[in-house]
A and B are shown apart, each in its own frame.
Chain A
Amino acid sequence: MNKPLTMWEYADLNGVTRRDFLKFAGWIAAAAGLEASAIGSVVHAMDTKPRLPVVWFHGQECTCCSESFIRSSHPIVSDIVLDKISLDYTETLMAAAGHQAEEALHNTMKKFKGEYLLLMEGSIPIDDDGVYCCIGGRTMLDIVQEAAADAKAVIAWGSCASNGCVQAAKPNPTGAKPLHEVISGKPIINVPGCPPIAEVMAGTIVHLLAFDRIPQLDGLGRPKAFYSRRVHDTCYRRPNYDAGLFVESFDDENARRGYCLYKMGCRGPVTYNACGAIRWNNGVSFPIQSGHGCIGCSEANFWDNGPFYQHLASFPGFGIETTADKIGVVVGVGAAAGIAAHAISTNIRKRKLIQEEIKSSTESDAKGGA
């Protein structure tokens, strides 16, 4: 077997000039939000590293994470897969099947012991000896525990692997568990969302490649770069909330003006994700921009925190500076308090309008609406 090429050697073979290579390294640093002074370390990292061996597992999932991943626009996925990593096992894309597929997996686990990156898409069912998800006659639990033992680091893709997602919703018929509940002793990066945004997935991998270390994580193991702000705090409709301008019914006059979707059940105020900042599919839109409230798909237990169209009973009135670490997981109770609390904590100019809004909102709540 040839010695794996470093990223620079690889680029050089492909006819990339050193000058362009340095520009690319600068771009990676910029994409990861680094200061200009860090570009040197990016260049050094890419000069000396072979492509990172990666294995990608599928447990109880719908493959939306894989689909999201291939939507990445920067970098584009063919460049990631051909030039930046070596994706040695992925049931979605790999040419091999059956025992040849398993052989590819075991070759990587053996040859790159302690060096490969393990990506987990999907939850892992543990009830009834794990029979609810088997591959090649083995349980997912068995497979992932074996592979995780010798992995360098582990990424839990999506809400399934990060928090259990839909199959873990009540009554969780198969005992579906997120990755961090079934393996231990390895750094795990949780990248929740159903699915996560493509560029967030690619960005997490780029971070590992460029800096050879896991990104800064919050208390729930999520990269701070993408999960430190509430959707509410990065939402372009936020000024409507602050001004008390709300959609009262889908396709009403207020909806056609793009007012705030809080009363339609929007979970933006309790959801940490980058949808408002990065947006989806190369920045085209995100759920709120397209008229539907956020359903909170990156938060643990969001399926059981519904119904989706019932607006949040309340949430603590914390300011835009507060991060997930300080607040933790937020679940609200007690109807009208929500808007009132938020109104107090926010610097609002249109106080009168908001007072009226609270009044009418309280009245409609009392009637059991929303």
Chain B
Amino acid sequence: MKSLSLAFQVYLAFIKKSFQRRMQYRVANLVGLTTNFFFLLVHIFVYTAFYAARTVPQPLSLNEIITYFVLCQVSFMLMPLWGTRSEVTSAIKDGSVALQLTKPVDFQAYWFADECGRACYYLLMRGFPTFLISILFFEVTIPQQPTVLVAFTVSMMLAIFMSNAITITIFSSGFWTLDTTGIPGMSYSIITLFSGMLVPIALWPEWLAHIARWLPFEGLIDIPFSIYLGKITGIEVWIAIGKQMGWNLFFIGLGRFLLTRGFSRLVIQGG
């Protein structure tokens, strides 16, 4: 029990460190916020124009779409492959990962903690301000039932965890390719598409939406936001969250496997 609480403290310290490192870039954060708003604004213009011509009711109302994209901007930086990477991730490329491997901690957990710190930072410094300002300017739906909020919070946390686990898995491939643009680049487009980050899955044609349901990436964006909007209710909430948990375990396992194999053939780049 004592060793468990000690381990907890160690990783908590890593999370804190990772958070604090980012606090120094205040101007960058302000610029990032502006960028968030710009893209949000263009999305809203585009969807407003699309909706203006339609008389047939859509699966999501315009207000719900706006809310969806506000949430997207809130969590953009939390998604895998978006924004600047955590220190450990860049360390694989420049070779300083060798130094980090000497730390007497579980490497994957350490990396995970590092990513969590990054996520906390972006949630607090980028996500919340984006959300608060959006409420002032746009008609953002806010769920009325507390159960929805609870389910959303749980689902969102699972989404962030999964994002970290995916990041670790993808960048572990760097041990083989020694190149950190190719595979991440290709994964990026698949994740961007199937998470529902660009167009909500509810608006997709049936066949494509069906594919998305069998892939893990809807758990990053579409599942938590659909719960928020009340599009997933009752027993389906449990199924959706269960899916997220399952995929989380899958990616943590895969990442672990790749890391163990990767270390056994580790080539350190640079000096």
Query: Does A pair with B?
Result: no
Give residues in A with beta carbon < 8 Å to B: none
Residues on B facing A (Cβ under 8 Å) = none
